[in-house]
Amino acid sequence: MATLHPGDPAPDFTAQAHNGEQVRLADHRGKNVVVLYFYPMDGAPVCTKEACGFRDAYEEFTKLGAVVIGVSADSPERHRAFAASRALPFLLLSDKDGSLRKAFQVPKTLGILPSRVTYVIDNQGVIRHVFSALFSGQQHVAEALRIVRTILGESEEPDTARVRSQIRRENHENPGNGQP
Domain range list for the chain? 30-173
Q: What percent of the chain has pLDDT over 70?
A: 84
pLDDT at 177: 42
CA distance 88 to 85: 8
Amino acid in position 72: S
pLDDT at 102: 94
Q: Which of 47, 83, 100, 163 is catalytic?
A: 47
- Which CATH class, in words, describes the domain spanning 30-173? alpha beta
pLDDT over 80 (residue 169): no
Express each pLDDT in 36-71 by its tens digit: 999 999 999 999 999 999 999 999 999 999 999 999
* Residue 108 near residue 73 (C-beta atoms within 8 A): no
pLDDT over 70 (residue 178): no
Amino acid in position 51: A
pLDDT at 158: 46
Q: pLDDT band at 109, cuts 50/70/90?
A: confident
Q: Could you tell me which of 118, 102, 128, 125 has the C-alpha nearest to residue 9? A: 125
Q: Nearest 10 degrees: CA dihedral of 106, 166, 146, 139?
A: -20
Mean pLDDT of 130-157: 84
Q: List all residues 6 or more positions away from 132 whose beta carbon is below 8 Å from its beta carbon.
A: 115, 116, 117, 118
**What global pTM score does this model have?**
0.84
DSSP symbols for 145-173: HHHHHHHTTPPPPHHHHHHHHHHHHHHHH
pLDDT at 179: 43
Q: For this structure, is 47 an active site residue?
A: yes
CA distance 160 to 63: 13
Mean pLDDT of 97-103: 95
